[in-house]
Structure 1
C-alpha cells in the first residue's frame, strides 16, 4: 500500500509537560505511556496499546471492565468522565484506597 505510514502502536509526540518513563502523556486526544523521560516540548515516544499499571485516584474502587479516564491536570486515572479523556478500561479490581490500577489501552481516539 503506497499510503501506509506506520502501525501506530508507538508514536512520537511532543511532551506538553515534563514526564518520567512510564508516565501518562496526553497530546490532544492521543493518550500514551511514555517510553522514556522528557521535558516540556521534547519529543517522546509513547505506547498506545497494552496493559499498564498507572496512577489512579486513590479513593476510587475499580471493577474489571470499568471505563478509565485520564485526569491530565492531576496526571492520574479516574472513573470520572467529566472533564477527562477516556483512555481504556480497568482489567482487574483496584481497591479503595490504592495508588495504582491496571488499565487496558486500546489506542482508540475518543
Structure 2
C-alpha cells in the first residue's frame, strides 16, 4: 500500500457549519452527497458521494428512470432534467427508478465527478 494512501474514496469527511441530519443532501463543491449520520455543527462526519439513495423530489412532475434529474439548491429536491434554474446542480445523479408526478421521493445513483452548476 502506498504510504500516502488515506482511505477509499466512497466517503468524504466533512465538518459542517450547522447541524446536518442523517440522510440529508449536502453539496460538497459540485458533488451531490448524502450525510451518513447526524453531524453536529463543528464536528466531523462522513458523506457518501457514491451509492443509490432515495431523495426528495418536486411533486407535480415525473422523473423517468435513466434520466439525470437536477438538484434544486433553493427547494432542496430533485427536479426533472428540463427544469433547472441558474445555480442548480445538474448531472450529479441518475434516476434508477421512474418516479411518478405524485411521488415525493426518487431513487437516484450519485455520480461522483459529474456534477456542475447550471448557468
Does the TM-score normalized on the shorter chain lie above 0.5?
A: yes
Of residues 94, 98, 106, the one that matches 1:89 is 94
Equivalenced residue count is 110
State whether structure 2 residue 107 is matched by structure 1 residue 102.
Answer: yes
**TM-score normalized by structure 2?**
0.78
Alignment of 1:33-72 (within 5 A): 33-72=34-73
More strand by share: 1
CA contact (8 A) 2:25 2:32 kept: yes
Distance 2:60 2:16 in 1: 28
**TM-score normalized by structure 1?**
0.84
| Stretch of structure 1 that moved more, 90-99 or 19-28 | 19-28
Counterpart secondary structure, 1:19: coil
Give the C-alpha shift of residue 51 in structure 1: 0.8
User: RMSD between aligned alpha carbons?
Assistant: 1.9
Give the C-alpha shift of residue 3 in structure 1: 4.0
